[in-house]
Amino acid sequence: MSTSVDPRTPVLVGVGQHAERVDDPDYRGLSAVGLAAEAARRALGDSGGTGVSAAIDTIAAIRQFEISTPIGFAPLGRSTNVARSIARDIGADPARAILNVTGGQGPQHLVSELGDTIARGEAEVVLLVGSEAISTARHFAGADDKPDFSDDPGGTVEDRGYGLRGIVTLPQVRHGLVDATSQYALLEHARRARLGLDRAAYARSMGELFGPFTQVAAANPLSAAPTERTPDELVTVTDRNRMVADPFPKFLIARDQVNQAAAVLLMSVAAAQRLGVPEDRWVFVHGRADAAERSIIDRPDLGASPAATLALQHALEVAGITSDDLAHLDLYSCYPIAVSAACDGLGLAADDPRGLTVTGGLPFFGGAGNNYSMHAIAEIVDRVRATPGSYGLVGANGGILSKYSAGVYATTPRPWPSSDAAALQARLDAVAPAATTSTPDGWATIETYTVKHERHGMTGIVVGRLEPDGARFLASTVPGDDDVVGLLTGDAEPLGSRVFVRSFGYGNRVTLTQERADELLPRPTPVLRDDYEHVSVRRDGRVLEITLDRPAVRNALHAESHVELEQVLDAYFADPDLWAAIITGAGEDAFCAGNDLTATSTTGGGFPWFPDSGFGGITSRREMHKPVIAAVNGVAMGGGFEIVLACHLAVADESARFALPEVKVGLFAAAGGVVRLPRAVPEKIAHELILTGRSIPADEALRLGLVSRVVPKGGALEAARELAAEIVAVSPTSVRLSLEAMEQTRGLADPVEAARLETDAMDQLLISEDTLEGVMAFAEKRTPQWRNR
């Protein structure tokens, strides 16, 4: 066999697994590195070769859960370089060390990726390894004498980051979708809707799907929960099997409290021969594929996984077989839909006699973090070795059915299979995404939903479709409103039910009726009040003066002040007797220092937020049909500068300074700064200001055209008043239509094309009383009496 295969062909030659439970009599309390080293030693021994450890030139470590997000925490300490720590412990010193991205697709993806590297001759011996010691971390959480797993082995590492883009989004955080269980629950009910099953029937199907998994887990000595359960036990809610997020009780959810590790040794045929690895240890990759899904809200069908389907089908096609030819399967099983969506795509029955797992699955064998599929690969390798010529399939899922990797394995020799991941992904991306809206308002129907069962009570989360255009949105229930939660948990079918949705800066909220929304989420009447807490207003004839009134924090704004500014500006734009507005800051030192990052809010998922109209109620406002003037008295930083950019006019006193310093604190100018500044000043200057956070003084702002006047310190407000007086002296109708015409032609680069664009501004002038008054007053040599109509 060895003479018929290209020497650079990658082969899997060794696999190893290790696990311990805290109640085992020989429990050692190993760290994640310690567990991984044990699994790696077993993989080295499984290869049957000599000198293999010293020959490892590449080690790729799977990222543990505790380092899978920026806010991850390792309570017992952690290695600064996991891959190097493991390598040191097994006597290896590879030239290349990798820490992979977050996601359960990682092990299978790395087999494919690093197999390519070997096939190109850029590596010879590769060790893939990962582990979790979550159970041990919890076991010692309250102990006085905790072990210290901190380690600093030194050396280089290729840290690939978290890889969470598109998986964790701010809208999801705003609506309580911060956990995988709730997100998968939405997908599960969407699949139920497509199948037309009621809740009881669908629950029964989930139990029947996972019942056989418990049998496999019960027979696996490495399982974290080796208990066989009936389908009814799995889906019947009890004190031990509490509901977590409808439709998932605890027994159907990946079990993360594990101490498990697995490793796979991959090398070229030439290296296997040189190191004396017996050919009966060789397993070949016959097919492979990787594909990625859109973010949840954009997926056309929330109850399916086109990425999983395409990856699995393509891997089989590359292998030259069909699913009927498979003898062994392991489909990633963090939640039932991860399995059923793959089965739907492959045409497999839930009770397929071959079984759908070789480990016992994540809820029962153990959800070993991002490393679960390394265990699946190890088990598949053992099985195809035991039945030479048979085929085994591994389907590995990451995120929320977000990233999928598939591999087909057999002992039968074959060349390293090619896979055009870009072409495969292009096929997925060619399908149009769902139409969505982030600011829904009005009647809608429920497309899918879940109810989170938490200590403080139940929260409903809905994916809905607006009437009549069908735009999809994400929303949650109003705290304290049991009506929608009652619908979602009651006897009637929630799917397709009608609800009413309203959008706010902190998120979208649903109620059963518009009247209930008016009661719980009233829209304030756009009328000026005299009891604002964080801003003050002064009406002077046709001019409204708005003062940001938080001098103790340099007029930095928080959620409540944003809301008040939105209300004030709503009232200004709704009042036909107000023709110009001025925004300034209290005191002499600051116009606005930006977002008050020290302020907290009980809404918005704990993140700073502002209304749909934007920062200060202005930066995202769609219709600005009356002029707003910024009177900049001191610093305008971050959001303060963005307010200035959003205003039609700006004047500044000589003490003013302008900056977008967000990059200095790990943020960016997301309230319009990165959009408006490059349109307001030469692009290279905008890039410098945005990318460095450099501040500029008032005279430079004047040269750049960011303000129209610079006046002595303390004179900004008076200069703005003079400018407002000039504006209110002319036709308010002409001012409004001039603003509309400028906005409608803003995107046209050719001035001739812009000038020739037919807008309705001239049509409105033809029927305006102000136009007639202006012409007559000119002819009669008198001052016009504008009516603003």
The answer to whether 563 and 614 have CB atoms below 8 angstroms apart is no
How many whole angstroms separate alpha carbon 127 and alpha carbon 110?
10
Q: Residue 763 — pLDDT band, cuts 50, 70, 90?
A: low
Percent of the chain with pLDDT over 90: 81
CATH of the domain at 6: 3.40.47.10
Catalytically active residues are 642, 662
Do 24 and 120 lie in one domain? The reply is yes
Which one of 394, 429, 464 terminates a domain?
429
Residue type, 237: V
Domain-embedded: residue 190: no
Predicted pLDDT of residue 142: 82
Do 376 and 305 lie in one domain? The reply is yes
- DSSP per residue, 352-389: -TT-S-SS--TTTT---GGGHHHHHHHHHHHHHHHSTT
> What are the φ/ψ torsions at residue 621 (nearest 5 degrees)?
-70, 125
Domain-embedded: residue 191: no
Please state, in angstroms and as integers, the Cα–Cα distance from residue 661 to each residue in 327, 668, 670, 715, 752, following that order. 59, 8, 12, 26, 38
Strands 391-398 and 403-410: antiparallel
* Other C-beta atoms lying within 10 Å of the C-beta of residue 577: 10
How many whole angstroms separate alpha carbon 550 and alpha carbon 598?
13
Average predicted confidence (pLDDT) for the chain: 93
Do 765 and 633 lie in one domain? The reply is no
Domain-embedded: residue 438: no
Do 573 and 612 lie in one domain? The reply is yes
pLDDT in tens, 357-368: 999 999 999 998
Do 375 and 401 lie in one domain? The reply is yes
Q: Residue 260 — pLDDT band, cuts 50, 70, 90?
A: very high
Q: Residue 42 — pLDDT band, cuts 50, 70, 90?
A: very high
- Contacting residues for 234 by C-beta, under 8 A, at least 6 apart: 206, 207, 210, 211, 214, 241, 249, 251, 252
Token pair for 720: 């703005």
Segment 628-640 mean pLDDT = 96
Q: Residue 609 — pLDDT band, cuts 50, 70, 90?
A: confident
pLDDT in tens, 645-665: 999 999 999 999 999 999 998
Predicted pLDDT of residue 755: 64
Token pair for 212: 């056989």
Do 358 and 465 lie in one domain? The reply is no
Helix residue ranges per DSSP H, 197-237: 199-218, 231-235
The H or E element spanning position 698 is: helix 698-704
Percent of the chain with pLDDT over 70: 95
Do 286 and 422 lie in one domain? The reply is yes
The answer to whether 77 and 150 have CB atoms below 8 angstroms apart is yes
How many whole angstroms separate alpha carbon 449 and alpha carbon 743?
40
Residue type, 749: A
Please state, in angstroms and as integers, the Cα–Cα distance from residue 663 to each residue in 458, 620, 673, 680, 689, following that order. 38, 21, 12, 20, 10
- DSSP per residue, 446-513: EEEEEEEEETTEEEEEEEEEETTT--EEEEEEPTT-HHHHHHHHSSS--TT-EEEEEEETTEEEEESS
Checking if the pLDDT of 602 tops 60, the result is no
Burial grade of 7 (CB within 10 A; 0-12, 13-18, 19 or more): middle
CATH of the domain at 630: 3.90.226.10
Domain-embedded: residue 530: no
Segment 679-694 mean pLDDT = 94
Q: Residue 167 — pLDDT band, cuts 50, 70, 90?
A: confident
Checking if the pLDDT of 608 tops 80, the result is no
Domain-embedded: residue 128: yes
Q: Global pTM? A: 0.90
CATH of the domain at 470: 2.40.50.840
Do 392 and 465 lie in one domain? The reply is no
Q: Residue 606 — pLDDT band, cuts 50, 70, 90?
A: low
Predicted pLDDT of residue 162: 86
How many whole angstroms separate alpha carbon 492 and alpha carbon 445?
14
Domain-embedded: residue 341: yes
The answer to whether 580 and 542 have CB atoms below 8 angstroms apart is yes
How many whole angstroms separate alpha carbon 377 and alpha carbon 396?
10
Token pair for 285: 């990759």
Predicted pLDDT of residue 164: 80
Do 499 and 556 lie in one domain? The reply is no
How many whole angstroms separate alpha carbon 572 and alpha carbon 724?
14
Do 417 and 506 lie in one domain? The reply is no
Checking if the pLDDT of 249 tops 90, the result is yes
Alpha-carbon dihedral sign for residues 408, 409, 413, 416: positive
Checking if the pLDDT of 470 tops 80, the result is yes
Which of 130, 94, 125 has the alpha carbon at shortest distance from 109? 130
| Number of domains within the chain | 4
How many whole angstroms separate alpha carbon 470 and alpha carbon 655?
51
The residues that bridge with 547 in the sheet, in sequence order, are 536, 584
Do 575 and 682 lie in one domain? The reply is yes
Please state, in angstroms and as integers, the Cα–Cα distance from residue 133 to each residue in 97, 138, 217, 367, following that order. 21, 9, 19, 11
- Which of 108-122, 325-339, 590-604, 668-682 is least confident? 590-604
How many whole angstroms separate alpha carbon 479 and alpha carbon 125?
56
How many whole angstroms separate alpha carbon 343 and alpha carbon 212?
15
Predicted pLDDT of residue 560: 92
Domain-embedded: residue 72: yes
Do 297 and 161 lie in one domain? The reply is yes
Domain-embedded: residue 176: no
The answer to whether 17 and 260 have CB atoms below 8 angstroms apart is yes
Q: Residue 623 — pLDDT band, cuts 50, 70, 90?
A: confident
Domain of residue 709: give its range: 535-728
